[in-house]
A = this chain, B = another copy of it.
Amino acid sequence: NDLAAGKAAFDKYTCASCHGADAKTSTMPAYPILAGQHQDYLEHALRSYKRGAAGAPASANTRKNAIMGAMVAQLTPADIKNISAWLASLPSPLAVRK
């Protein structure tokens, strides 16, 4: 995982527009808090949106969402890993989950 690359990708793909620069102050309550969430889950979610946007069959483990589908279509597997690692590492309240 490359945390600096993850932050750079988060910025490059303007994720902050919806999720907030700190990834926990989203602009709408329909958008989730990401900071401190598990890396595995975040990677899974991003890959699911990617499958959904790619037209995977309805039987696949996909997420269909117009905004996230368009965003994630641009991401490489490395982007997904690095962004998720960076989000999971953020010193957010969620990160202190013990």
**Which of A's residues lie within 8 Å of B, judged by CB?**
24-26, 28-33, 36-41, 44, 48, 55-66, 92-98
Contacts and interface: CB of A to CB of B under 8 A. Distances in A.
Number of copies: 2
Contacts of A26: 38
B33 A40 contact: no
A93 B92 CA distance: 8
Nearest to A66: B61
Given A64-B59, A94-B94, A41 B48 contact: no
A29 B39 contact: yes
B41 A32 contact: yes
Contacts of A95: 93
A37 B32 contact: yes
18 contacts: A25-B97, A28-B40, A30-B38, A30-B44, A32-B37, A33-B36, A33-B94, A36-B93, A36-B94, A48-B63, A48-B64, A55-B58, A56-B58, A62-B62, A92-B94, A93-B95, A93-B97, A94-B97
